[in-house]
């Protein structure tokens, strides 16, 4: 069993930020990540532009300098790789944590190297969970959702040239996908449950999207609900009226949620209605002693409450509490 003082689960910006804050006070935390660093950002659409400006994505006091005000996905990937290198973060990538068990002295963590089928066991005094939510999509619960043609992530538009595509949702991820699909020559229909455009849509893309809808380049259906996916068509309703249209692929951009089961197995209490873990907002410590959360996972089901730009500050709160518990000078 390998001994560690602090283990951080998740090498996203918030997990990395927590590690840097701890480094600044003499700790050498280990980050365990089932993919590689900022794995969620890697899985964003290829041409994704962030809502936040670059300085609001900075961690570890490392400047994020670009010519544009808002960075794109590839720029963010390069920035966080540079941070990990410059800060010499200790990261075990492509290693998945399967189980965390509490004991009198802290936590026993069981993990496995994904590409090696190698199991590893750690003992840690403190654990920080910064696993995000992007791995757990919100399912629609309709017939045909399990077909291979239905996807909850959008990466590249090229394969869908000259295909009939349905995008489910009406917020940024759905609008971004529809824009890229239309550019690539897909016949795109967007189904949105609400009766008007979401106020959360990035202001610099909404005019372009509205223009495509007005010019019949994209079909926008408000008050619409997908009720069945079939091999060559989909069935949906608009204001109660049922419609059937040809379909090759469905992108269900219906949002994501944290993995509650992982948290509850550790002993962390979850509010049933909000999905929010029990934690002290001053220290980010959960109801499980010496177990902390960082980043969007603290927001429960409301993923729009915490972003990189505010979740990155959780690390300082966590480090301060761990320092006090370890009685190290600040």
Give the model's confidence band at 272: pLDDT under 50 very low, under 70 low, under 90 confident, else very high: confident
Mean pLDDT over each residue of the chain, to the nearest integer: 93
Classify 299 as helix, strand or coil.
helix
Q: For 135-176, how does the pLDDT look when each residue is reduced to its tens digit (9 = 90+)?
A: 889 999 999 999 999 999 999 999 999 999 999 999 999 999
Tokens of 128: 């920080």
Lookup result for tokens 């365990």 = 32
Judge whether residue 93 has pLDDT over 70: yes
Catalogue the E-assigned strands of the chain.
2-9, 30-32, 90-92, 95-103, 106-113, 118-129, 150-151, 164-168, 187-191, 218-221, 224-229, 233-238, 241-246, 249-252, 291-293
pLDDT value of position 273 = 86
Query: How far is Cα 50 from Cα 40, in angstroms, rounded to an integer?
Result: 13
> Residues 270-277: contacts with CB within 8 Å, 24+ apart?
270/300, 271/300, 274/300, 274/301, 274/302, 275/300, 275/301, 275/302, 276/300, 276/301, 276/302
Task: Count CA atoms closer than 13 A to 230's CA, side-chain side.
Answer: 8
More confident residue, 296 or 84: 84
The span from the CA of 78 to the CA of 82, in Å, is 6
pLDDT at 132 (0 to 100): 83
Looking from the CA of 224 toward its CB, the CA atoms found within 13 Å total 22
Q: Going along 2-94, which residue ranges are E strands?
A: 2-9, 30-32, 90-92
Q: Are 183 and 46 in contact (CB under 8 A)?
A: no
Both tokens assigned to 144 = 């045909």
Q: What is the predicted pLDDT for the residue at 113?
A: 94
Kindly report the pTM of this predicted structure: 0.88
pLDDT tens sequence across 179-232: 999 999 999 999 999 999 999 888 888 999 999 999 999 999 999 999 999 999
pLDDT range class, residue 329, cuts 50, 70, 90:
low
Residues 6+ apart with CB under 8 A from 280: none
Choose the weakest-confidence range: 87-91, 185-189, 251-255, 310-314: 310-314
> Measured between alpha carbons, how far is 186 from 160 in angstroms, rounded to an integer?
6
Q: What is the pLDDT of residues 217-268, one digit of tens each?
A: 999 999 999 999 999 999 999 998 999 999 999 999 998 888 888 899 999 9
Which of 329, 322, 258, 323 is closest to 128 using CA atoms? Answer: 322
Q: What is the pLDDT of residue 304?
A: 66
Q: How confident is the model at residue 301 (pLDDT cuts 50, 70, 90)?
A: confident
């Amino acid at each position: 069993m390998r001994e560690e003082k602090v283990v951080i689960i998740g090498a996203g910006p918030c997990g990395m930020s927590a590690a840097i804050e701890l480094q600044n006070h003499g700790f050498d935390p280990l980050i365990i990540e089932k993919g590689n660093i900022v794995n969620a950002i890697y899985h964003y659409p290829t041409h994704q532009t962030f809502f936040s400006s670059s300085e609001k994505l900075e961690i570890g006091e490392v400047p994020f300098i670009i010519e544009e005000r808002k960075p794109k996905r590839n720029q963010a990937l390069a920035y966080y790789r540079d941070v990990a290198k410059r800060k010499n973060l200790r990261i075990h990538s492509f290693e998945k944590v399967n189980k965390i068990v509490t004991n009198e002295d802290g936590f026993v963590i069981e993990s496995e190297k994904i590409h090696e089928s190698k199991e590893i066991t750690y003992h840690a005094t403190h654990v920080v969970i910064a696993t995000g939510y992007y791995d757990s999509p919100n399912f629609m619960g309709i017939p045909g959702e399990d077909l291979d043609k239905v996807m909850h992530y959008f990466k590249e538009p090229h394969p869908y040239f000259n295909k009939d595509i349905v995008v489910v949702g009406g917020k940024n991820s759905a609008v971004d996908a529809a824009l890229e699909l239309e550019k690539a020559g897909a016949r795109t229909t967007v189904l949105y449950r609400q009766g008007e455009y979401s106020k959360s849509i990035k202001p610099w893309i909404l005019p372009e999207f509205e223009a495509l809808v007005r010019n019949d380049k994209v079909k926008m259906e408000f008050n619409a609900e997908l009720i069945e996916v079939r091999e060559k068509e989909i069935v949906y309703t608009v204001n109660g009226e049922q419609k059937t249209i040809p379909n090759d692929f469905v992108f269900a951009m219906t949002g994501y949620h944290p993995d509650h089961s992982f948290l509850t197995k550790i002993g962390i209490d979850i509010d049933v209605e909000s999905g929010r873990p029990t934690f002290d907002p001053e220290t980010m410590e959960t109801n499980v002693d010496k177990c902390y959360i960082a980043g969007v996972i603290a927001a429960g089901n409301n993923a729009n409450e915490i972003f990189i730009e505010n979740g990155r500050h959780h690390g300082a709160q966590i480090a301060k509490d761990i320092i006090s518990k370890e009685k190290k000078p600040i």
